[in-house]
């Protein structure tokens, strides 16, 4: 099939590359000229494992192309996928300006009938709204059919999640259009659920808000485990064995971040407010998440007293491993809390330092290795669970530090690893300190 994707962010680029990989002819359009030029040469604007390999392979096979021209990019499209960003607006809801612009661009340049698929995360009713924008502007005699097809990929495993998805959701009021989009995904052999447009839009938000709530729930259980002297990892394992609960997403930590959960929970809450249902549980999910981001600092104050003039090494800056994305990363909050107290913070991240500098700036210092960050530190915070930190030579790390104290926000170390470091004072999440 001939497919055009609008937007080359995480979702658009991953979708475009994977659809080319399963044999479709894909053109990706983006207004950013530099990004498109790099992509044409096989250079990805984001760090995502496996992406560049598939990018190069499919460009070489002439199944994948990139352009800034809507006229050129839309010329042959049977299916047009909108995958532009829907960032958080000033009022907490989703900012639809990019998607509105995408609709105007399609309407202006489309010269044949096509199916328009919205993959961006959009509040309930947006497909109808975008259809209206399109229909008001499309050339005479041109018709489009709308399909809502939300995306569930995770950053850091975008290729895997797209190719081995748990499910594909296709929401449409047109049976024929839904069938065609279903056929586009057939080579993936993934279960497809056909729904109405509004149900498809809701599935995306309901899923993300549920996962965020699951995280806030296990974080509260972790805090309680610490108070009562239980081990949250055993508790989560025991809970997760129940198939109705499931083992995934029960890792406690210092709060969820990223470009999706924080904004999607708020956007769903806004939708609930608009429609007059009081979804107060989501408010708690948000409050717990904000509280959790203070946890390492709170523990450090309990142990070390005033942090003014103390040196803290911070390992990890990105919101999760295998990505350089700093959006809503807990490290931002932690860096600000510490710097406000006059703490000297030296941070290290394997990939995200450049992005972190843009967001956090010079209120903290940046190191080129974990050992450099740890040099002379009064304590060390583990903020992101990169493999590099899980596998690190702890003895060598502790030797660098002034005090061998670790506050681990991601429970990186098992008992075996800890046993090898007798001097270490270790504070995990939801488990007794060692």
User: In the complex with ligand UGA, which residue's Cβ is closer, 212 or 377?
Assistant: 212
CB 28 within 8 A of CB 141: no
Instruction: Return binding residues for NAD(+).
Output: 30, 35, 86, 121, 263, 327
As measured in angstroms, the least distance from the Cβ of 131 to ligand UGA is 23
As measured in angstroms, the least distance from the Cβ of 14 to ligand UGA is 10
User: In the complex with ligand UGA, which residue's Cβ is closer, 268 or 300?
Assistant: 268
Token pair, residue 245, equals 């609960």
As measured in angstroms, the least distance from the Cβ of 325 to ligand UGA is 8
Beta strands in 32-152 (DSSP E): 64-67, 79-82, 114-118, 144-148
As measured in angstroms, the least distance from the Cβ of 207 to ligand UGA is 7
CB 334 within 8 A of CB 323: no
Q: Which contiguous run of DSSP H or E holds residue 406?
A: strand 405-408
> How many other C-beta atoms can be found within 10 angstroms of the C-beta atom of residue 415?
7
Q: Is 367 helix (H, G, I), strand (E, B) or coil?
A: coil
CB 126 within 8 A of CB 103: no
CA distance 269 to 205: 10
CB 44 within 8 A of CB 13: yes
Q: Is 140 helix (H, G, I), strand (E, B) or coil?
A: coil
Distance spanning both ends of the chain, measured CA to CA: 58
CB 233 within 8 A of CB 411: yes
Secondary structure (DSSP) of 338-364: HHHTT-EEEEE-SS-HHHHHHHHGGGS
Q: Catalytic one among 18, 28, 225, 260?
A: 260
User: In the complex with ligand UGA, which residue's Cβ is closer, 221 or 398?
Assistant: 221
User: In the complex with ligand UGA, which residue's Cβ is closer, 107 or 124?
Assistant: 124
Residue with tokens 């698929």: 117
Instruction: Return binding residues for substrate.
Output: 204, 249-253, 257, 320
User: In the complex with ligand UGA, which residue's Cβ is closer, 160 or 357?
Assistant: 160
Note if 421 is an active site residue.
no
Indicate the angle between helix axes 353-360 and 330-340, nearest 10 degrees: 50
Interacting residues toward ligand UGA by CB under 6 A = 121, 151-155, 208, 211, 215, 249-251, 253, 256-258, 260-261, 319-320
**Virtual torsion, Cα 212, 214, 219, 220, nearest 10 deg:** 120
CB 267 within 8 A of CB 259: no
As measured in angstroms, the least distance from the Cβ of 368 to ligand UGA is 24
User: In the complex with ligand UGA, which residue's Cβ is closer, 227 or 248?
Assistant: 248
CB 302 within 8 A of CB 379: no
Pairing of strands 311-315, 379-382: parallel
Q: Is 383 helix (H, G, I), strand (E, B) or coil?
A: coil
Beta-carbon contacts of residue 360 (< 8 Å; ≥ 6 apart) = 317, 326, 331, 332, 335, 336, 347
Instruction: Return binding residues.
Output: 30, 35, 86, 121, 204, 249-253, 257, 263, 320, 327
Q: Which contiguous run of DSSP H or E holds residue 103?
A: helix 97-109
As measured in angstroms, the least distance from the Cβ of 346 to ligand UGA is 22
Token pair, residue 372, equals 């450099």
As measured in angstroms, the least distance from the Cβ of 419 to ligand UGA is 26
CB 429 within 8 A of CB 408: yes
User: In the complex with ligand UGA, which residue's Cβ is closer, 194 or 249?
Assistant: 249
User: In the complex with ligand UGA, which residue's Cβ is closer, 328 or 344?
Assistant: 328
As measured in angstroms, the least distance from the Cβ of 176 to ligand UGA is 27
Catalytic residues, which ones? 260
């Amino acid at each position: 099939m001939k497919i055009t994707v609008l937007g080359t962010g995480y979702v658009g680029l991953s979708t475009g590359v994977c659809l080319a990989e399963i044999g479709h002819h894909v053109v990706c359009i983006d207004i950013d000229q530099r990004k498109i030029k790099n992509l044409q040469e096989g250079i990805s604007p984001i760090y995502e494992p496996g992406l560049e390999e598939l990018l190069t392979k499919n460009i070489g096979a002439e199944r994948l192309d990139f352009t800034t021209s809507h006229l050129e990019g839309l010329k042959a499209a049977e299916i047009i996928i909108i995958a532009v960003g829907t960032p958080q607006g000033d009022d907490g809801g989703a900012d639809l300006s990019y998607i509105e612009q995408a609709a105007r661009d399609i309407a202006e340049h489309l010269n044949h009938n096509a199916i328009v698929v919205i993959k961006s995360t959009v509040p309930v009713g947006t497909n109808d709204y975008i259809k209206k924008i399109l229909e008001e502007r499309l050339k005479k005699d041109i018709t489009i059919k709308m399909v809502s097809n939300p995306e569930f990929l995770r950053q850091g495993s975008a290729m895997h999640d797209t190719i081995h998805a748990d499910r594909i959701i296709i929401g449409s009021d047109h049976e024929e259009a839904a069938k065609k989009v279903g056929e586009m995904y057939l080579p993936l052999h993934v279960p497809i659920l056909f729904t109405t447009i509004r149900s498809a839009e809701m599935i995306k938000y309901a899923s993300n808000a549920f996962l965020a709530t699951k995280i806030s729930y296990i974080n509260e259980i972790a805090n309680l485990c610490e108070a009562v002297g239980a081990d949250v990892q055993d508790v989560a394992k025991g809970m997760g064995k129940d198939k109705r609960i499931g083992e995934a997403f029960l890792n406690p930590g210092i709060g969820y971040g990223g470009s999706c959960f924080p904004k999607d929970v708020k956007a769903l809450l806004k939708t609930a407010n608009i429609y007059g249902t009081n979804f107060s549980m989501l408010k708690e999910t948000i409050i717990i998440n904000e509280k959790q981001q203070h946890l390492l600092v709170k523990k450090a104050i309990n142990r070390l007293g005033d942090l003014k003039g103390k040196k803290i090494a911070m390992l990890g800056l990105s919101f999760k491993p295998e990505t350089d994305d700093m959006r809503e990363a807990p490290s931002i909050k932690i860096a600000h809390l510490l710097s406000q107290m006059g703490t000297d913070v030296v941070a290290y991240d394997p990939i995200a330092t450049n992005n972190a500098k843009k967001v956090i700036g010079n209120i903290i210092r940046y190191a080129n290795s974990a050992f450099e960050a740890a040099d002379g530190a009064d304590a060390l915070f583990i903020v992101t669970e990169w493999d590099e930190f899980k596998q690190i030579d702890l003895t060598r790390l502790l030797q660098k530090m002034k005090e061998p104290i670790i506050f681990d926000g991601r429970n990186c170390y098992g008992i075996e690893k800890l046993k090898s470091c007798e001097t270490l004072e270790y504070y995990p999440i939801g488990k007794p300190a060692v």
